[in-house]
Amino acid sequence: MSSINTRTYESIPAQTVAFLGLGVMGGPMAGHLAKAGHSVTVYNRTAAKAEAWAAEFGPPGRHAATPREAAAGADIVFCCVGNDDDLRSVVLGADGAFAGMKKGAVLVDHTTASADVARELSKAAEALGLHFIDAPVSGGQAGAQNGALTVMCGGDAAAFERIKPVAASFSRAVTLLGESGAGQLAKMVNQIAIAGLVQGLSEAIAFGQRAGLDMEAVLGVIGKGAAQSWQMDNRGKTMIEGKFDYGFAVDWMRKDLGLVLDEAKRNGARVPVTALVDQFYADVQQAGGRRWDTSSLIIRLK
Ligand SMILES: NC(=O)c1ccc[n+]([C@@H]2O[C@H](COP(=O)([O-])OP(=O)(O)OC[C@H]3O[C@@H](n4cnc5c(N)ncnc54)[C@H](OP(=O)(O)O)[C@@H]3O)[C@@H](O)[C@H]2O)c1
């Protein structure tokens, strides 16, 4: 688990919150909540990570043995696990967060998951007198460590207004985009926009290298023009060097593109380049790159 880079926090009354899932993203996000002065109880499936987190951030941070215990008494329960099934396993069931939450409390899910599971858990929450906001994030590991994530939310406006200033502890923008599921759909839009771009950047760099150009110099120039992108600024140099041992894992990207392709089948959207890039990522997985950063798409071209 990584430490965080502290920042200034909005001054709001301290809340009692829980955080479930202390991975690459969740660990630093929960850390910012504690640094912002909130009382944070964490849960992680692998308990050693929760103990290490509590040693770094407690008090006010502490850890619990189950999601249910972590969620007991919390005003807001944040969550960031892997996929739909992981999410159901920490939220539902006898030891799940919903079983421990007090009436009126809000569960904010930062997992990148399907819009369907968001709607399913929102309905389940409503039946229990709870609220559910789907809130996937963009900004990567660095965004989580710096407390500068972008959060795309779906759900009830009143519940959103309650969580917004608290989620601001680890974010630079927290925005409600519509009803339950809208946050996940917006994240799918984000991933479609990234997938084709990373392939384009890969082709550009591989082409330039074959042409014998000094590609750092070339990116330095074209990065100040219309070809500029976050991927070029943050990944161009490491793509030239062939370094991928960090960042947003290819396995996660394939999960996300799978969600996009499922949703596109339902809503009729045509996403041919995204479908192709998804298959290119399957090649990277086969080449041993399951945990490499998504910029590793370029290895197919070298
Ligand atoms: N990394 C990024 O740059 C990034 C950026 C944007 C969005 N995301 C999304 O954020 C989510 C988390 O990503 P991450 O990079 O933080 O992943 P990660 O480092 O692999 O962490 C996953 C976390 O979920 C927990 N978990 C997984 N399955 C579980 C289960 N069945 N029951 C209980 N806990 C479970 C893991 O617990 P253990 O410690 O026990 O394994 C761990 O705490 C994913 O949906 C990902 O797509 C990631």
The mean of the pLDDT values for the chain is 97
φ/ψ (deg, to 5) at 63: -125, 155
Q: Whose CA is nearest to atom 10 of ligand 1?
A: 111
pLDDT at 2 over 70: no
- Is 71 a member of any domain? yes
Q: Which of 6, 19, 2, 33 is nearest to 146 (CA)?
A: 6
* Residues above pLDDT 90, as percent of the chain: 95
Query: How far is 162 from 174, CA to CA, in rounded Å?
Result: 12
Distance in Å, CA 206 to ligand 1 centroid: 32
CATH number of the domain within which 199 lies: 1.10.1040.10
- Is 68 a member of any domain? yes
The 3-state secondary structure of 24-64 reads CCHHHHHHHHHHCCCEEEEECCCHHHHHHHHHHHCCCCEEC
> Is residue 149 in contact with ligand 1, taking CB distance under 6 Å?
no
Q: How many residues does the chain have?
A: 302
pLDDT at 43 over 80: yes
pLDDT at 258 over 70: yes
Residues 108, 226, single domain; the answer is no
Q: What is the reported pLDDT for 3?
A: 80
Q: What is the reported pLDDT for 212?
A: 98
Residues 58, 150, single domain; the answer is yes
pLDDT at 9 over 90: yes
Give alpha helix (H) positions in 58-136: 67-71, 84-91, 97-100, 115-127
> Is residue 196 in contact with ligand 1, taking CB distance under 6 Å?
no
Residues 25, 159, single domain; the answer is yes
Query: How far is 1 from 100, CA to CA, in rounded Å?
Result: 26
Q: At what angle do helices 250-267 and 182-210 cross, to 10 degrees?
A: 120
CB of 223 closer than 8 Å to CB of 232: yes
Residues 191, 165, single domain; the answer is no
Query: How far is 160 from 156, CA to CA, in rounded Å?
Result: 6
Asked which of 179, 213, 245 is the last residue of a domain, the reply is 179
CB of 148 closer than 8 Å to CB of 157: no
- Is 158 a member of any domain? yes
- Is 10 a member of any domain? no
Residues 251, 207, single domain; the answer is yes
Q: What is the reported pLDDT for 59?
A: 87
Q: How many distinct structural domains can be found in the chain?
A: 2
Q: Which of 35, 49, 164, 187 is catalytic?
A: 187
pLDDT digits (tens, 9 = 90+) for 190-208: 999 999 999 999 999 999 9
Query: How far is 28 from 139, CA to CA, in rounded Å?
Result: 13
- Is 288 a member of any domain? yes
Q: What is the reported pLDDT for 12?
A: 92
- Is 9 a member of any domain? no
pLDDT at 128 over 50: yes
Residues 207, 239, single domain; the answer is yes
Residues 139, 193, single domain; the answer is no
Mean pLDDT along residues 1-14: 85
Cα angle, residue 135 at apex, residues 164 and 126 outer, rounded to 5°? 85
Distance in Å, CA 169 to ligand 1 centroid: 20
Residues 161, 49, single domain; the answer is yes
Q: What is the reported pLDDT for 246?
A: 87
Asked which of 154, 179, 204 is the last residue of a domain, the reply is 179
pLDDT digits (tens, 9 = 90+) for 148-187: 999 999 999 999 999 999 999 999 999 999 999 999 999 9
Q: Which of 154, 20, 144 is nearest to 81 (CA)?
A: 20
CB of 43 closer than 8 Å to CB of 33: no
Mutate to test the pocket of ligand 1, among 88, 188, 252 (most ligand atoms within 8 A of CB): 252
At residue 1 the predicted structure's pLDDT band, cuts being 50, 70 and 90, is very low
Residues 29, 163, single domain; the answer is yes
pLDDT digits (tens, 9 = 90+) for 50-105: 999 999 998 878 999 999 999 999 999 999 999 999 999 999 999 999 999 999 99
Residues 27, 169, single domain; the answer is yes
- Is 115 a member of any domain? yes
Q: Which atom of ligand 1 is nearest to the CA of 21?
A: 43
Mutate to test the pocket of ligand 1, among 22, 81, 87 (most ligand atoms within 8 A of CB): 81
**Structural domain boundaries enclosing 263:** 185-301
> Is residue 44 in contact with ligand 1, taking CB distance under 6 Å?
yes
- Is 215 a member of any domain? yes
pLDDT digits (tens, 9 = 90+) for 236-253: 999 999 999 988 999 999
Mutate to test the pocket of ligand 1, among 42, 80, 235 (most ligand atoms within 8 A of CB): 80
Asked which of 153, 179, 205 is the last residue of a domain, the reply is 179
Distance of alpha carbon 28 from the chain centroid: 12
Q: Is residue 164 flagged as an active site residue?
A: no
CATH number of the domain within which 76 lies: 3.40.50.720
> Is residue 67 in contact with ligand 1, taking CB distance under 6 Å?
no
> 36: which 2 tokens?
């912002």
> Is residue 190 in contact with ligand 1, taking CB distance under 6 Å?
no
Q: Which residue has the tokens 């999410």?
A: 87
Query: How far is 297 from 8, CA to CA, in rounded Å?
Result: 36
